[in-house]
Amino acid sequence: MSQSNPLETAALKHPHAPGSRVEHVFETIVFASRWIQAPLYGGLIVAELLYAYKFLVELWEMIRHIDQQQETVFMLGVLGLIDVTMVANLLTMVIIGGYATFVSKLDLEGHADRPDWLTHIDPGTIKIKLAASLIGISSIHLLKSFVDIANENPEHIKWKIFIHLTFLGSAILLAWTDKIMQKDKKH
């Protein structure tokens, strides 16, 4: 039979004792500190607006010069638009998922556009989604290099392949680790 600590017993019997009051105030401050992240997510929203602006500027340039562009240049422009879109998707996942996980729940129960993935979001899921997005972005950069291979330094292409494989390996390890952790939670 375990012996209880007299101080813990006193704190349980008298929850408003001086020591427990200080502890409660401190825990309230610690919990409220999560709001320090809110401006960071606000900054990411501004960054996403800048990406939307960059997308529109690049699209406008493609429209203006469509008659003068060779197919390869046009394809590189389209891949650039896809790249910007994928980075914006990544920002959206980080903003929504991070805010909902670390700052405050989003009150979207009745909202028709509520993303399905938001119901089962946790830090592990966010990491895997981020890794998958990085692989997609890396794939676009690699594809751009292959499309424009005549103007690419072979050494740079090797590094891009190495970086892409590193992202791929990291994502596989993250997914595997998350699977193990989920299995442990079930037991």
| Tens digits of residue pLDDT in 147-166 | 888 888 999 999 999 999 99
State residue 44's pLDDT score: 96
Which pLDDT value is given to residue 25?
93
Dump pLDDT digits (tens) for 170-180. 889 888 888 88
Residue-level pLDDT at 1: 47
pLDDT in tens, 37-84: 999 999 999 999 999 999 999 999 999 999 998 888 898 899 999 999
6 against 21, higher pLDDT: 21
Give the C-alpha distances (Å, rounded to integers) separating 95 from 26, 36, 63, 140.
Answer: 28, 14, 31, 23
- For position 100, what pLDDT does the model report? 85
10, pLDDT greater than 50: no
The whole-model pTM stands at: 0.71
Length in residues, the chain:
187
The string of pLDDT tens digits covering residues 89-141 is: 889 888 988 888 889 888 887 788 877 777 777 777 777 778 888 898 889 98
